[in-house]
Structure 1
Amino acid sequence: MHIYRALSNFAFSFANISVMVGVTTVYNTGLRYGGPVSMTLGWLVVALFNGCVALSMAEICSAYPTSGGLYYWSAKLAGKKWASLASWVTGWFNVVGQWATIASVDFSLAQLLQVIILLSTGGANGGGYMASKYIVLAIYAAILILHGIINSLPIQWLSLFGHVGAIWNAAGIFVLVILIPAVAKERASFEFVFTHLNTDNGTGIHDKVYTLAVGWLVSQYSLFGYDISAHMVEETKHADRSGPNGIITSVVLATVFGWIYLLALTSVVTDIPYLLSPGNDAGGYAIAQALYTAFHRRYGSGVGGIACLGVVAVAVFLCGVASVTSNSRTAYAFSRDRAMPLSRVWCRVNKHEVPINVVWLGVAVAFVMALTSLGSQVAFQAMISIATLGMYISYALPVFFRVTTGRRSFVPGPFHLGKYGVVVGWAGVVWVTTVTVLFSLPVAYPVDNKETFNYTPVAVGGVLLFSVGAWVLHARFWFQGAITNVDAHY
């Protein structure tokens, strides 16, 4: 299985983060809550603290290179007394967060494809085809099945998809960053891009700080997913170096590329109310409308804008492949340590050493999660917050144990932060705690119906209640924590 080099590890991580996906698919949220300033300057704030989380994870990954990753680290760092509980809770937050990630990425792709079809057939105001929520769900199911099939292929093929994903993201951003501002006849001013605060959001929230904080979701959602480097290390040579290098390199490049891409998109945002209006040609999909309008004004046709959306759609598809890969490796390792129901089924691998059963488990769970879209679109939009918070909580838990109970016993690997390790770790933990509170607050007032209720704290609290409750009532009697041998030679 040791066929991956450091480049493969980085490629999967960069493709899984896929800032083109995150920025484009949740841009509406940032535009509505705070507008340009919440995204352009907010990106830098989020990137700074996210970097602290990533550096701490890279340090721990270098010390404990195993596909169990986060939940294994918690077990090693929490101390003997709390090892099993720490491992259990971290693992479940990571697995559920990854299931939500698959759901959010693939459903975002289904929605994007629906918008591409709408604009290609004349737009909402020109008789274009607007797919029903059932058709969108069917498209989503087809995407999930394709991702399941790809992840059932031999590891060599997955490595190829990882490389293609990294190249496509880098090349796609490069092309779009040059093309979009060049095509636009009307561009936003420098002052607008970096200082304009949108408080006219129709949500009943008027406090500027509150609005800015909610808008940070764009940046926070766009910059997670680098834990795949940890989950893939058992398929990597020199894991104690390639793992942390994959985390750091992918985060740095994603931060830089993502910010430049965000600036390019925001440069063509000149009329926020119109872009967010459900009555525009793209049905309220802000970036799709902005690109379509820019090309239409320049060339009399919006085909170029649709082509740009196609570039993004391919990136989203490749990100979905990497998301399923990451989840399958995590869930495989978790079941290998007997932490999941029917663990013997999920930890099986086929003749190509692919954990095929758990691949399709992730696909099935992600589909069930998306069924919420039939009842309430707002409920499904909470999936983005759930994915973000579930993942970051699972990132922060081993870092927390590193700077508290594991501070004295931690034996660093080849990559380490030296005397700054504890300070950087605490900065990351405090940041994750802060955004967990922020993203659990109401996103509309008054909160009096299912369309204004924020389902995020219910879902995140549900995972916490389930994991701790299952531990108290059942798992504490038999779960011994991660059993992977990290002393193996990679």
Structure 2
Amino acid sequence: MESCEIMSTEDAGSYCYLPLQNPDQDLPSDSARLKQLGYKQELNRSLSAIGNFSVTFSIVSVITGLTTMYGTGLTYGGTVTMIWGWPIIGMMTMMVGLSMAEICSAYPTSGGLYFWSSKLCGNDWGALASWFTGWFNIVGQWAVTTSVDFSLAQLIQVIILLSTGGKNGGGYEASKYVVIGFHGGILFLHAAINSLPISVLSFFGQLAAAWNLVGVMVLMILIPSVATERASAKFVFTHFNTDNGDGISSKAYIFVLGLLMSQYTLTGYDASAHMTEETKSADKNGPKGIISSIGISIIFGWGYLLGITFAVTNIPFLLSEDNDAGGYAIAEIFFLAFKNRFGSGVGGVICLGVVAVAIFFCGMSSVTSNSRMAYAFSRDGAMPFSSFWHKVNNQEVPINAVWLSAFISFCMALTSLGSIVAFQAMVSIATIGLYIAYALPIFFRVTLARKSFVPGPFNLGRYGILVGWVAVLWVVTISVLFSLPVAYPITAQTLNYTPVAVGGLLTLTVFSWIFSARNWFRGPITNINT
């Protein structure tokens, strides 16, 4: 084995990779690697490759994203945007994932993206890069949890509505205050589950992954099989919906707007990086978790889209707020499939229950990822009251960070009480804000650290720079595309709040750096001697 001195945390530019695969001593390898990166082992390292993958796969959760955003896909382009847009987004997302996996293999720490940015930028710019990447990452993650759990609260509302007769049958429609109450209760359960030891959480994660896989396969076959009216293959693969009622006539423009459904779904795979301090052989299994979660999600997500879309025959009706599901497109598809076949929509409601459980698991795993990021970021002194948030309990769980993540996600959802338009800003940050955090360390890897980067066991070889540039350019592209107006004329209710939300986050991050953080934040700091 080569010898290599533990690097100083101030010497970010002279990182030395320590080979850790000692055939005689497998156990100390991960903790030795972590020590080399400047941290002592505080979390319980018991996750296997499958455990790491399961957490991430259940966060990506194609059932969650595609079910929640299916109406958006139908509105902007219809079946063409969904069926052909998904593999396009999947391929480009894989480019981002491959680049992240390569960097994750070199720096397997819970800090993930912000730690990578710091080390790849070196002494001069490391702290600044770490600050921006970290805050975009953690706020993006909180926004993901907010949107996922709020979508579950909304789905529960729809399930209750359909179970009590549907909108046209006088069913119960929960108020926005009841929905926010559901949201708070869901977050409480997620925080409680995440307070359990990682071994228990790993079990739930693997159960979540299995539920997502089986759920997708069952629903993609069952729904079109039960439906009495099925779409033709020509409709599924070629129908382009231009009747969105939003004053947009350009097909290319409409197609681009519809891609948000797919890109929103394929997020959250940075979780594998944040779980590396709890994963065995992290420099190999962390990257595997990122790549496998994306790859399997692409395959099963396309199958899910195809299966459900073969049950679509009347897009305007599915999007109408006058249908039984109150405009929740995919819920109406499920409900009608069983109602038209059996005279009762109970089966459709049960299928929605399967989706609801998958979304619950998605939110649970999202809180897991949030809390590990908050733990690591506060460990390096970046958050207010950092010493409190990075405390670990007797079960080696960052308990305070868990409850902080749940609380902030609840506060972010309160914007829905004022206006659903304001809440949509959370979805914007969850997609674009998070992808900006993904792109920053990749950008630094292909520019500032192009020659100095020393890869870990997983690397892209000579293709690393090319894949990295493709990933960065893709994030720049979607940041522009998803900031475009979604309706004309532009009013307070139709404005796309993505640039407002992301710009607001950027402004706050810049001002906090200029007026405060630049005087005390030094990027990742060692805790070996504490």
> What TM-score comes out, normalization by structure 1 length?
0.97
For residue 465 of structure 2, the aligned residue among 409, 422, 445 is 422
- Contact 1:68-1:484 at 8 Å conserved across structures: no
Worse-superposed segment, 317-326 or 440-449: 440-449
Equivalence map 1:43-442=2 (5 Å): 43-442=86-485
User: Cα offset for 1:442?
Assistant: 1.4
SS in 2 for 1:80: helix
User: Cα offset for 1:282?
Assistant: 0.4
Look up the match of 1:455: 497
User: Cα offset for 1:485?
Assistant: 8.2
Look up the match of 2:49: 6
- Gaps in structure 1 of 5+ consecutive residues: none
Look up the match of 1:466: 508
Provide, for residues 86-138 of structure 1, a one-character-per-residue CA deviation record: whole Å limited to 9, x for no partner: 01100000000011001000000000000000000000000100111111111
2:514 is matched by which residue type in structure 1? Answer: V
- Contact 1:12-1:162 at 8 Å conserved across structures: yes
2:335 is matched by which residue type in structure 1? Answer: Y
C-alpha distance in 2, partners of 1:56/1:245?
A: 12
User: Cα offset for 1:79?
Assistant: 2.7
For residue 72 of structure 2, the aligned residue among 26, 29, 32 is 29
- Contact 2:428-2:502 at 8 Å conserved across structures: no
2:508 is matched by which residue type in structure 1? Answer: F
Look up the match of 1:480: 522
Worse-superposed segment, 320-329 or 29-38: 29-38
Provide, for residues 243-291 of structure 1, a one-character-per-residue CA deviation record: whole Å limited to 9, x for no partner: 0011111111011011100111111111010000000000000000011
- Contact 1:66-1:484 at 8 Å conserved across structures: no
C-alpha distance in 2, partners of 1:40/1:104?
A: 24
C-alpha distance in 2, partners of 1:484/1:165?
A: 35
Q: Percent identity?
A: 64
Provide, for residues 272-312 of structure 1, a one-character-per-residue CA deviation record: whole Å limited to 9, x for no partner: 10000000000000000011111111111111111110000
- Contact 1:95-1:327 at 8 Å conserved across structures: yes
1:468 is matched by which residue type in structure 2? Answer: V
The alignment covers a number of residue pairs equal to 485
Provide, for residues 203-249 of structure 1, a one-character-per-residue CA deviation record: whole Å limited to 9, x for no partner: 12221111111100111011111111000010111111010011111
SS in 2 for 1:421: helix
User: Cα offset for 1:378?
Assistant: 2.2
2:494 is matched by which residue type in structure 1? Answer: T
C-alpha distance in 2, partners of 1:20/1:369?
A: 23
C-alpha distance in 2, partners of 1:166/1:485?
A: 34
C-alpha distance in 2, partners of 1:370/1:44?
A: 31
Structure with greater Cα Rg: 2
1:360 is matched by which residue type in structure 2? Answer: W
C-alpha distance in 2, partners of 1:483/1:48?
A: 36
Worse-superposed segment, 280-289 or 343-352: 343-352
User: Cα offset for 1:484?
Assistant: 5.2
Provide, for residues 356-401 of structure 1, a one-character-per-residue CA deviation record: whole Å limited to 9, x for no partner: 1111111111111111111111221332222011111111111011
Provide, for residues 39-60 of structure 1, a one-character-per-residue CA deviation record: whole Å limited to 9, x for no partner: 1100011111101000000000
SS in 2 for 1:317: helix
- Contact 1:217-1:385 at 8 Å conserved across structures: no
- Comparing both chains, which one has the higher relative contact order based on Cα–Cα distances under 8 Å and sequence gaps of 6 or more? 1
C-alpha distance in 2, partners of 1:94/1:75?
A: 14
Distance 1:256 1:427, change over 3 A: same
C-alpha distance in 1, partners of 2:57/2:150?
A: 20
C-alpha distance in 2, partners of 1:383/1:308?
A: 27
C-alpha distance in 2, partners of 1:355/1:407?
A: 35
C-alpha distance in 2, partners of 1:195/1:460?
A: 34
C-alpha distance in 2, partners of 1:484/1:293?
A: 58
C-alpha distance in 1, partners of 2:238/2:263?
A: 20
Worse-superposed segment, 104-113 or 298-307: 298-307
- Contact 1:231-1:326 at 8 Å conserved across structures: yes
- Contact 1:379-1:454 at 8 Å conserved across structures: no
- Contact 1:28-1:276 at 8 Å conserved across structures: yes
SS in 1 for 2:133: helix
C-alpha distance in 1, partners of 2:50/2:342?
A: 41
C-alpha distance in 1, partners of 2:423/2:515?
A: 30
RMSD, matched Cα: 1.1
- Contact 1:74-1:87 at 8 Å conserved across structures: yes
C-alpha distance in 1, partners of 2:494/2:115?
A: 38
C-alpha distance in 2, partners of 1:379/1:471?
A: 26
C-alpha distance in 1, partners of 2:123/2:60?
A: 33
C-alpha distance in 2, partners of 1:349/1:463?
A: 29
Runs of 4+ with >6 A deviation: none
C-alpha distance in 2, partners of 1:406/1:265?
A: 45
